[in-house]
Amino acid sequence: MGADSEPQNQNSAVELAASESSSGTLAGRRSVIKSTLIGIACTMAQIVNSTNTSAISVTLPTLAKELNIPEIKLNWIASAGPLVTGCFLIMFGRICDLYGRKKPFIFGSLWMAVFTLAVTFATNDITMDILRGLQGLGRAAMMPAAVGILSDTFKSPQARRKAFTAFSAGQPVGTALGTVVGGAMTQLTKQSWRSPFYLIAGLSLATLVLGLYAIEEDFPAIEMDRRIDWIGLVLISAGLLLVVFVLSQGETAPEQWKTPYIIALLFVGIGFLVAFFFWQRYLEGKYDTKTSSPWCSPPLMRVSLWTRAGGRVAVTFIITLLTWCALYSWLYWAQLYYQSYIGLAPLVTVIRLLPAYITGVIYNVILTILMSRVPFALLMVSGNVLTAVASLLFAVINPKAVYWAFGFPAAVLAPAGGGFAYACSMIYLTKVARPHEQSMVGAVVQTMTQLGTSLGVTVSTVIFDQVTRHQTTVKGTSPGLDSYKAAQWTTLTFAALGMYSYLL
């Protein structure tokens, strides 16, 4: 992956010079301690994000029992937050690039703390769905802002590598907090399922305080036209909302994927996304030729961003999507294999998966050392190879074998794909993107991870259900080992597609 060689127009050159001038002045005055605190604040945002995502999975059974929520309604509680986050990431990415990143970061942290605390007062599933959805709005503001802040703060290649690998490491740290600490708090504290949300609210407040102190005041972009493309916002938000909804509900609909409203919403959602693409290309053409009108604002996202560096930017986005398909599909089916097939208690399952959270951090430390010596493409391929091996181990697993033969090595290897791909893609893309596109790039990467999580679990679930139906019809048995193996073969396919994309 090389640097962007596309010539920039005069306006972009002015923006670049102005941005580098203001950033360079700040960098000259900023102490090492202050820079470190900025990095910690942004990494805390990542920890809050992944803790919130993972904690809900271990609290759902207890929450459902205490609030008398039917199992069929639990999916909405888990997916409401990510659904809203995915819909508003692009919007907040554009806002951050136009008006500065500190205010959205502070807003997102405060919003997250308030509505996470509000979740603990919920007494029914509808209230829980609404509050979890509102939580997602805070995450949508925090994450693109954090990427832009890191990019502005750490200019040298070495400093940026360290900053983004630490940021990436926040994900396994947060997952461990949510799963291990959240699970323990749910079982051992009087507040039960509410305890992990108290933890997340506290982490959000800590992020807020640290951000207020450490992050410098915003330097808005110098673009003369700062209007938001509201038409594009409606198209991308509606399209992502419908597509993610279909992915999350397709298998549970009355007739599954043959259900009429599932088919209709899928086509409408894809239609909105296609319309968004063409609308953005139209606005970009108008803006670049200076023929924009009062009815045509600057594009929400430049389509040309995807074609930069010979199309490597688009390939990087696709690789991120496929890597997250593989990683979270592996994690989802590994958990179900241990709990539903083997019959292990949730806490024992967490212990068996604990090496994945530990090595997730270790891989990011290794990346810090290797990035200056090994090409990014090779690192990303290596990460996907290791995730593929983890999937293969579960695809051929022997339930009678000891944990150390299949489960342990798989847990050690699986996080490599996500850790390598996330950090490498962030560093590469923020290098290719222009100064006023840094948060937008972060928003697109986060959107890819959200879609990848939903798509990977959905496709593997379809395969799992198909094999299960065949077993039920032919053998009259419940989901057997073949179903779980089939799901992991699907995970392996995602990892292989990611590797193939690198080689294009």
| pLDDT in the model for residue 7 | 38
The SS3 assignment for 225 reads coil
Please report how the helices 308-336 and 438-475 are oriented relative to each other, as an axis angle in degrees rounded to 10: 40
Q: Return the structure tokens found at 44.
A: 């805390």
pLDDT mean for each 10 residues of the chain (504 residues): 42 41 50 87 92 82 82 73 84 86 92 94 88 90 91 85 88 87 82 89 94 82 71 88 82 80 92 92 77 71 82 86 89 85 82 90 87 82 90 93 93 88 85 81 86 82 83 65 90 88 70
The SS3 assignment for 155 reads coil
Q: Return the structure tokens found at 229.
A: 């493309």
| pLDDT in the model for residue 45 | 93
| pLDDT in the model for residue 156 | 83
pTM of the model: 0.81
> Which one is the CATH code of 1-10+305-504: 3.50.50.60, 1.20.1250.20, 3.40.50.12780, 3.40.50.11270?
1.20.1250.20
| pLDDT in the model for residue 301 | 81
The answer to whether 478 and 341 are in contact (CB under 8 A) is: no
d(CA 47, CA 470): 41
Q: Return the structure tokens found at 263.
A: 């088919």
The SS3 assignment for 273 reads helix
With helix as H, strand as E and coil as C, how does 402-459 read? Answer: CCCCCHHHHHHHCCHHHHHHHHHHHHHHHHHCCHHHHHHHHHHHHHHHHHHHHHHHHH
d(CA 278, CA 273): 9
User: Could you tell me which of 82, 110, 107 has the C-alpha nearest to residue 96?
Assistant: 107
Q: Could you give the count of Cα atoms lying within 13 Å of 198 in the half-sphere of its Cβ?
A: 11
| pLDDT in the model for residue 292 | 60
d(CA 460, CA 457): 5
CATH of region 31-226 = 1.20.1250.20
| pLDDT in the model for residue 475 | 61
- 399: phi then psi, degrees, rounded to nearest 5: -60, -25
Domain residue ranges of the chain, discontinuous segments joined by +: 1-10+305-504, 31-226, 229-299
Same fold, 1-10+305-504 and 31-226: yes
| pLDDT in the model for residue 22 | 44
User: Could you tell me which of 220, 173, 252 has the C-alpha nearest to residue 419?
Assistant: 173
| pLDDT in the model for residue 17 | 39
